[in-house]
Amino acid sequence: MTCARTATAYQRDWLKGLRARITEGAAFAFVNADTPHELFHFMDVPMVTNQWWSAVISAKQLAPHYFDRMEELGFHAHLPRYSSLPLIAQMEGDFDRQPWGGLPAPAILCARASSDEHPRLFQRWAELTGAELHLLSAPGTPDPAPDWWVRARTNWEDLYGTARLDLMVAEMEHLIAALEKLTGRDFDRESFTAYMARIDAQERVLDEVAEMIAGAEKCPVGIAEQMPNVMIPQWHRGSEWAVGHVRSFRDEVAGRIERGEAICANERIRMMWIGAGLWFDTSFYRAFEDSHGAVFAWSMYLPFAADGYIRADHGDPLRALAARVSAMNEQLHQPPWVNEWLVREARRWRIDVAVMLVPEHDRFSGYGSYFAREALLAAGVKVVEIHSDMVDPREWDRAAMEAQVRAALDELEAA
């Protein structure tokens, strides 16, 4: 797909540019995926996302080295891996080994305390680099409405709770003050409104794309190509490039559908991939097309761009941003949010089989998996559980995993 290549090339050039900026003395931020990236982008503070960098390291097949090293350093073998891979690479300090020469020390760090490990990991980053640490609180939602995606776009005040939103806004104001100090620039609230509106427009385009693919007779774009087209613009959301890119993506998808193009002409089975990407072996996503006409049509990244990001600003874009961030990850991993959403998505996308990555070490990402499994089964979706990890291939047995999926597909075709 032309767009996917464009996105990947853009990201590579962007990182080269980032390194050049840093070499020239620009400060950059190292942040978790579920933090308000918008504030960093808007203040023109270059930013690297922990989980994205982890995926890059994994895709370069470097994870086994670092996870072995992690245990040598005295960390136990059951600690979460997705978010810790960049830390271990940084601790080792051999930047020549890392993709693109590794990362220099960031100026500022930001994470949400959405799981037990994130505060601790970022504390270690702070000790290692001397960077200023900003932790955002993550109190639980006492009464999580199951149909969050219906309410979240406009009625988010009731959904997430006024006290939780007040807290997130106050903590973001603290972060804004730090960014003002770092950059020497004021936070222009009027321009921020326009910036947030551009993000909203970007996510609405992705909403259109999701609806198009979900409704297409045959899947025009598999998840391996969806991911870069969604996530790279997502890391740069609201920028001119990002908005332009998702429009190109939409147009290319529309063209494919119009021309009747499908990634698998013989598509018979639609599958969803549940969980983060399998970053070290993305070819797995296409392993069942020839044998079973089975296509991975759905991963969370595209539909979540709409449901997880579109938030009406109601005249207060900072509060709308708090609504976007305050339960971002939780919606993907905690009952009832995750199970109800996956069933809705499975129905919307006409899914036959769900392949569920259950990351036993990244427990925060694994919680709710079985509620989701049971809900999908009850909705008539066949579920294949894969107990593995999104970035660590050491226990990944490709042949065995393929056999597990093929058995389910055989069973489905025989029924």
| Binding region for other proteins (CB under 8 A) | 73-76, 78-80, 113, 115-117, 119-124, 126-127, 133, 135, 137, 139-140, 142, 144, 146, 163-164, 166-167, 170-171, 174, 334-336, 339, 358, 360-361, 363-364, 366-371, 374
Q: Give whichever of 98 and 339 is closer to other proteins, judged by the CB atom.
A: 339
Least distance in Å: CB of 366 to other proteins?
A: 6
Shortest gap between Cβ of 368 and other proteins (angstroms)? 8
Cβ neighbourhood burial of 177 (10 Å; 0-12, 13-18, 19+): exposed
Instruction: For the CB of residue 125, give the shortest distance to other proteins in the complex, in Å.
Output: 11
Taking the least distance from each CB to other proteins, the nearer of 151 and 268 is 151
Minimum CB distance to other proteins, residue 206 (Å): 29
Shortest Å, Cβ 177 to other proteins: 13
Which CB atom, from 168 or from 232, has the smaller least distance to other proteins? 168
Alpha carbons within 13 angstroms on the beta-carbon side of residue 256 total: 24
Nearer to other proteins, 247 or 363 (CB): 363
The alpha-helical segments, DSSP class H, found in 24-116 are 37-42, 50-59, 63-72, 85-92
CA distances from residue 174 to 139, 171, 325, 339 in whole angstroms, order as listed: 18, 5, 15, 34
Compare residues 65 and 120 and give the one whose CB is closer to other proteins.
120
Cβ pair 383, 356 in contact under 8 A: yes
Count of Cβ atoms closer than 10 Å to residue 102 Cβ: 18
Work out how close the CB of 329 gets to other proteins at its nearest, in angstroms, rounded to a whole number: 13
Q: Residue 240 and residue 198: Cα distance in Å, rounded?
A: 9
Name residue 29's beta-bridge partners: 47, 108
State the DSSP string of 288-344.
Answer: THHHH-EEEEEETHHHHHHHTT----TT-HHHHHHHHHTTTTHHHHSTTHHHHHHHH
Specify the residue, 276 or 297, whose C-beta has the smaller distance to other proteins: 276
CB 173, min distance to other proteins, A: 8
Give the rounded distance of the alpha carbon of 294 from its chain centre: 24
Closer of 78 and 259 to other proteins (Cβ) = 78
Give the C-alpha separation, 152 to 180, whole Å.
Answer: 30
Cβ-proximal residues to 304 (8 Å cutoff; 6+ apart), any chain: 331, 332
